[in-house]
Amino acid sequence: MLPGQVPLDLAGPLQVLLSATQLGAPLELRFFGPQASLPWLGPLALTGIEALPEAPLALDLLVVPGQYRARIDSALQHHAGDWLRQQAPACRTLMAVCSGALLLAATGLLDGRRCTTHHSLLDELRRLAPLARVRGDCIFVEDDRYLTSAGISTGIDTMLHWLALNQGQRLAQQVARELVIYWRRSGQEPQLGIWLEGRNHVETRIHRLQDALAADLARPWTLAEMARLATLGERQLRRRFSALTGLSLGDYLARLRLQQARQLMCETDWSLARIAECSGFGDDRQLRRVWQRFERGSPAAWRRSHQHGGAVGHLDDPTQYKSR
């Protein structure tokens, strides 16, 4: 907690955690900083901030929200940077929101890592961390224990990602719905992507169907099943879905499955056949067939260009991706 806190950089990720605790997640939240209170938003101030501990704490997650850089006293910034450098080895995950990445960069913690920040600060991040691999084509980046986000609202996406990895996909989906975020963005998506596309309507029955499809993409959905879930006739569902979303029902489901396949290609070392099965395509031939309708090149070429040399996961339970 530093002076010059960007309000949404703090409040967005914090609301994700608060909603998770209200839904039963066993999380304890603490706030640390060099000052016991901070001016924050107009006449509002932040209080109850603990002093920076002298000995490193074993934390599951340490979050550094963004700050308006011109408002941070250089001595305080230096003090906070020294503390972060000592604390970092004891943390399972460090997350920087927006310009918080600049503080991590100034301490050398991002050297040799993939990272990002707000698009207006990318050059500054490169200057502070010349050994880092700065990316400007995504909303957040995960590299080993480090998460950095593009800023403002993307702190919510980044926290939902952390929550899904540590408390499960089901809880992350519940929190997203609680916050009226109908689907979370993955780090690879530079814009809203298909998780949120087609959700700008108020038809509860269609939202219910979209939630169900996204939660179980491996299921061999039939039109009859989807119509029953939406409590509409089959022909009525086709017309209503297309009118509300601008997409045919078939194309919408195919694009959801492609997005899940892309995420699995980035985040795991699974074979294309296994990814196709877990994404609902049945086999890799069907995945390639649908891929050619919506993408350029081949899945293998796309995978090589998007892994960026980072580590991928060795996941044994494909059910954890049912809610992606």
Q: Which tokens go with 61?
A: 């997650």
- Looking up tokens 């979050």, which residue turns up? 63
User: pTM, whole model, 2 decimals?
Assistant: 0.64
Which CATH number, 3.40.50.880, 3.40.630.10, 3.30.300.30, 3.30.70.380, labels domain 7-173? Answer: 3.40.50.880
Select from 3.90.79.10, 3.40.50.10300, 1.10.10.10, 1.10.10.60 the CATH code of 193-324.
Answer: 1.10.10.60
pLDDT in tens, 240-298: 999 999 999 999 999 999 988 988 888 788 999 999 999 999 999 999 999 999 988 99
69 within 8 A of 102, measured Cβ to Cβ = yes
pLDDT band at residue 153, thresholds of 50, 70 and 90?
Answer: confident
Token pair for 132: 């880092």
The more confident residue out of 200 and 289 is: 289
Task: Count H helices and E strands in the chain, helices first.
Answer: 13, 10
Q: Percent of the chain scored above 90 by pLDDT?
A: 64
Residues 76, 9: Cα–Cα separation, whole Å? 19
| Alpha carbons 165 and 262: distance in angstroms, whole number | 17
Q: 187 pLDDT exceeds 70? A: no
In angstroms, how far is the first alpha carbon of the chain from the final one? 32
Which two structure tokens, joined as six digits, stand for 53? 């501990």
CB atoms within 10 A of CB 211: 18
pLDDT band (50, 70, 90) for residue 168? confident
Give the CA angle between residues 30, 141, 185 to the nearest 5°: 85
Which of 39-48, 85-94, 192-201, 229-238 is predicted with the least confidence, judged by mean pLDDT? Answer: 192-201
pLDDT at position 183, please?
A: 54
Is pLDDT of 311 > 60? Answer: no
Report which secondary-structure segment, H or E, holds 41: strand 38-41
The token pair at 286 is: 């069907």
- CA-CA-CA-CA torsion sign (288, 290, 295, 296): positive
Q: 162 versus 308: which is more confidently predicted?
A: 162
Residue 146 CB partners (closer than 8 Å, separation 6+): 93, 94, 95, 96, 104, 109, 110, 113, 115
Separation of alpha carbons 60 and 54, rounded Å: 18
Instruction: Tell me how far apart the alpha carbons of residues 267 and 30 are, in angstroms, rounded to a whole number.
Output: 30
Packing angle of the helix pair 272-279, 249-267 (nearest 10 deg):
140
Would you list the domain boundaries of the chain?
Answer: 7-173, 193-324
pLDDT of residue 59 exceeding 80, the answer is yes
- pLDDT tens figures, 225-253: 999 999 999 999 999 999 999 999 999 99
* 310: pLDDT strictly greater than 50: no
Dist CA 259 CA 253 (whole Å): 10
Amino acid 112: pLDDT: 96
Confidence at residue 217, expressed as pLDDT on a 0 to 100 scale? 93
Using a 10 angstrom Cβ sphere, with 0-12 exposed, 13-18 middle and 19 or more buried, the burial of residue 26 is exposed
For residue 315, the model assigns a pLDDT of 39
Of the two residues 190 and 305, the one the predictor is more confident about is: 305
Note the pLDDT of residue 179.
87
Confidence of residue 186 (pLDDT cuts 50, 70, 90): low
**242: which 2 tokens?**
């297309």
Least confident span in 131-145, 166-180, 236-250: 166-180
Give 188's pLDDT tier (boundaries 50, 70, 90): low
